[in-house]
A = this chain, B = another copy of it.
């Protein structure tokens, strides 16, 4: 069905369950000649990894990427690149009772209804573990986009429950475990998380991401729009419930005079469009905002049913994040990069490697 593949021309197919032997991906369509080494995956995978702080779940995954194919003497050859990560920390005993019950807010029930069988270990295929391979694949996309077009993709946590950033500094984002843009608020966040953990509850989050230096012209009308593909990409991430481009839902209450981004040769006066008009990039930064629901794996008991059709109380034990959104920033960035990479190739398929068209708005 190819439902585990993402992208038309830079196609990433992922596989693997949370507690199976391994997870991995196959990247098809990567341009040849790109230098890539196993150690280049490390930084991004560590950024994503659980266990990076006491505020995310305490699994220790030694996510070492093995490149199985598609790279020769350190360069991509144009053939499919397969990446493999062994699951080393399985502790499947944590999930033993889960096999008989449907946890509220999880995919347990829906997988069961769809397939009549499910792998209950650690959420199986529905686990956020799968997103590791998105981040890995995006390492390659990000490198090519940067080298070829100077594209830079960055993200940050824009809301944690009801807390929003007071200040904004890109440098701050990488200096704290929350990807929070205001360093002065980190203590407040830690306190909030501690209280949350103590209560056994969880909370939602909002993640924003931005891609700079995207050339104008990427994206395709009308079902291959850049924002359409971004929306699908973001909504495919576990726990995502909403996606906004540019001004997003704020557009509803805006006036046309306010929303439209006026144009001068030295630039647009605003970016309510989020860098996309008619599904095609304008040359402005592409901005996306994503809503994550509070994780459903919590210690507070919840009402559910079991396989036998009996009412049960469910408590999710084990290692879980009280806010799944905290470690989502690298995943949102990854999906943004993967969509851009795909459209970079799609653009040159139809329109060739063209230079700037006049007039070009700065």
- Asked if A263 and B232 sit within 8 Å, CB to CB, the answer is no
CB of A272 closer than 8 Å to a CB of B = yes
Name the CB-closest residue of B to A311: B264
- Asked if A68 and B259 sit within 8 Å, CB to CB, the answer is no
CB of A305 closer than 8 Å to a CB of B = yes
- Asked if B293 and A222 sit within 8 Å, CB to CB, the answer is no
Among A166-174, A180-188, A199-207, the one that faces the other chain is A199-207
Q: Which residues of B contact A358 (CB under 8 A)?
A: 309
State A75–B304 Cα separation when bound (angstroms): 26
- Asked if B16 and A68 sit within 8 Å, CB to CB, the answer is yes
CB of A62 closer than 8 Å to a CB of B = no
Q: Which residues of B contact A113 (CB under 8 A)?
A: 216-217, 280, 282-283, 357, 360
Q: Which residues of B contact A222 (CB under 8 A)?
A: 3-4, 14, 125-126, 130, 236
State A234–B227 Cα separation when bound (angstroms): 10
- Asked if A22 and B69 sit within 8 Å, CB to CB, the answer is yes
State A263–B104 Cα separation when bound (angstroms): 6
Q: Which residues of B contact A177 (CB under 8 A)?
A: none
- Asked if A6 and B223 sit within 8 Å, CB to CB, the answer is yes
- Asked if A291 and B248 sit within 8 Å, CB to CB, the answer is yes
CB of A284, distance to nearest CB on chain B (Å): 11
Which residues in chain A, 255-275, are within 8 Å of chain B measured between CB atoms?
A: 255-265, 269, 272-274
- Asked if A13 and B16 sit within 8 Å, CB to CB, the answer is no
State A42–B22 Cα separation when bound (angstroms): 21
Which residues in chain A, 99-113, are within 8 Å of chain B measured between CB atoms?
A: 102, 104-107, 109-113
CB of A254 closer than 8 Å to a CB of B = yes
Instruction: From known contacts A298-B256, A300-B257, infer whether A5 and B5 are also in contact, taking CB-CB under 8 Å.
Output: yes
CB of A348 closer than 8 Å to a CB of B = yes
State A306–B265 Cα separation when bound (angstroms): 10
CB of A286, distance to nearest CB on chain B (Å): 12
CB of A246, distance to nearest CB on chain B (Å): 6
- Asked if A359 and B262 sit within 8 Å, CB to CB, the answer is no
A-B contacts besides A13-B13, A109-B263, A109-B361, 18 pairs, CB < 8 Å? A3-B221, A17-B70, A20-B69, A24-B68, A76-B117, A79-B124, A105-B259, A105-B260, A106-B277, A107-B280, A113-B283, A114-B351, A206-B252, A225-B235, A227-B235, A242-B248, A305-B361, A352-B353
